Amino acid sequence: MSAAVAASGNADSAASASGASASSASDAFELSASDLERFRRDGFLVLPGFWSSATTASVRAAAERLLDEYDPAAIPRSVFTTDEQQRHSDAYFLASGDAVSFFFEAAAIDQATGALLVPKQLAINKIGHNLHEREPAFRAVSLGDARVAAICRRLGFRRPLVAQSMHIVKGPRVGGAVRPHVDGAFLATAPQSVLGLWWPCENCTQRNGCLWAVPGSHRRPGAEAPRRFRRRDDGRGTEFLPPEEGAPFDLAGAVPLEIAAGSLVLLHAALVHFSEANLSDQGRHAYSIHVVEGAEGTTYLGDNWLQRPEGPSAFPALYDDGSAAREEGDAAGGGAAGVSGAV
Ligand SMILES: O=C(O)CCC(=O)C(=O)O
């Protein structure tokens, strides 16, 4: 595996370089041509300093408050990891698309008794999946930052919908590994349009379980048809399709994203990425959202695990350009550069 990716560079992005806060987001912000080229080539892009330290602290503080206030007794003793054996598919999980729900770390729970083995603030793996509408600090950085919309426009989205959000806690010494996966396995549209945005709230190192990415893996053979995690046709929870695991992802060339708090990482739907357990004494909070195309011509799949009772029209739109031409084909030289319809 190669050297750490400290930054993919984004010198052209004034707002990012100056660490402009969400509330002072500049209309002038946009991804540069080299940013687009890098994203097209690698399947991910790091934008250092996207959040100011004040914005990063506000998100972190909002998560700390939720962790202080939740009642562990009210949360099902389900754990949430990418290990399919442990992925719970109960009503709590399935209803979390429009809620602020808490999911325990496997290692934080005594599997025999259900007792917490660590303080409740460290026992949570993630909080999701509608922080972006229900919690003001998360709403501000998800729906209220014009630069997020500018990124989506540059990548070819005509009507980007924020489908889900998660705050990943990955607590010191208890935060588990996230197995290699692609986000398009967990959320899908036809054609595929999922874009992940991931912001660490703390500096990331290999010790505290930084994200790893396999550059170019979004262009591997078969990337367009991942094994999917979906709702079962018989209404009884979720399943992987096909049920059996295929060949493991090729992790050769994976790079650790040892990046600073407040950076933004863009993740293509078919990019192979993962993180190791947090073995350190340092936290590794991170916030992420996933955006899908909501314009005519793209369908949010009815078997996605995440469904809103009102349907996908309930997902908030960052903007609506209607039938405006996609920039992807014009500015980025074809389908592979953007995300929308271009896994
Ligand atoms: O935060 C992490 O460690 C992994 C997050 C991730 O891969 C995801 O949410 O898809």
Decide if pLDDT at 325 tops 70: no
The predicted-structure confidence for 251-290, as pLDDT tens digits, reads as follows 999 999 999 999 999 999 999 999 999 999 999 999 999 9
Closest of 275, 287, 284 to residue 51, by C-alpha: 287
For residues 181 and 267, give the distance between their C-alpha atoms in angstroms, rounded to a whole number: 12
Which residue's alpha carbon is at the smallest distance from atom 3 of ligand 1? 275
207's tokens: 């010790």
Task: Name beta bridge partners: 293.
Answer: 160
Top pLDDT among 4 and 275 is at 275
Q: pLDDT, tens digit, for every residue of 45-80?
A: 999 999 999 999 999 999 999 999 999 988 887 554
Q: What is the pLDDT of residue 25?
A: 47
Task: For the chain, give the mean pLDDT.
Answer: 86
At position 250, the amino acid (one-letter code) is D
Q: What is the pLDDT of residue 319?
A: 97
Lowest model confidence (mean pLDDT) among 23-37, 48-62, 99-113, 155-169: 23-37
Q: Of 70-84, 115-129, 156-170, 285-299, where does mean pLDDT reach its minimum?
A: 70-84
- Closest CA to ligand 1's atom 8: 183
CA 200 to CA 39: how far, in whole Å? 19
Distance 330 CA to ligand 1 centre (A): 31
- Ligand 1 centroid to Cα of residue 181, in Å, is 9
Name the 3-class secondary structure at 286. Answer: strand
**Residue of 182, 288, 290, 291 with the most ligand 1 atoms within 8 Å of its CB, for mutation:** 288
| Mean per-residue pLDDT, 128-140 | 98
Which one has a higher pLDDT value, 139 or 84?
Answer: 139
The residue whose CA has the least distance to atom 10 of ligand 1 is 183
Mean pLDDT along residues 230-258: 94
- Residue 87 is predicted with a pLDDT of 47
Higher pLDDT, 110 or 22: 110
Residue 126: predicted pLDDT: 97
Where is pLDDT greater, at 323 or 301? 301
Give residue ranges with CB within 6 A of ligand 1. Answer: 168, 170, 178, 183, 211, 273, 275, 286, 288
Backbone angles phi, psi at 165, to 5 degrees: -145, 155
Radius of gyration of the chain from its Cα atoms, rounded to whole angstroms: 19
Task: Please state the rounded mean pLDDT for residues 220-228.
Answer: 94
Mean pLDDT score, 208-219:
98
If you take atom 9 of ligand 1, which residue's CA is the nearest one? 288
**Residue 28, pLDDT score:** 79
Mutate to test the pocket of ligand 1, among 87, 124, 168 (most ligand atoms within 8 A of CB): 168
Span from the CA of 56 to the centroid of ligand 1 (angstroms):
18
pLDDT of residue 323: 53
Q: Which atom of ligand 1 lies at the shortest distance from residue 175's CA?
A: 3
Pick the residue with more confidence: 21 or 26?
26
Q: Check: CATH 3.40.50.11690 for 14-331? A: no
Q: What confidence score (pLDDT) does residue 342 get?
A: 33
Q: Where are the alpha helices (DSSP H) in 51-168?
A: 53-69, 91-94, 131-134, 136-142, 146-154
| Dihedral pair phi/psi, residue 265, rounded to 5° | -115, 125
- Residue 315 has phi, psi (to 5 degrees) of -65, 135
Percent of the chain's residues with pLDDT above 90? 75
How do residues 292-314 score in pLDDT, each as one tens digit?
999 999 999 999 999 999 999 99
Measured in Å, residue 55 CA sits from the centre of ligand 1 at: 20
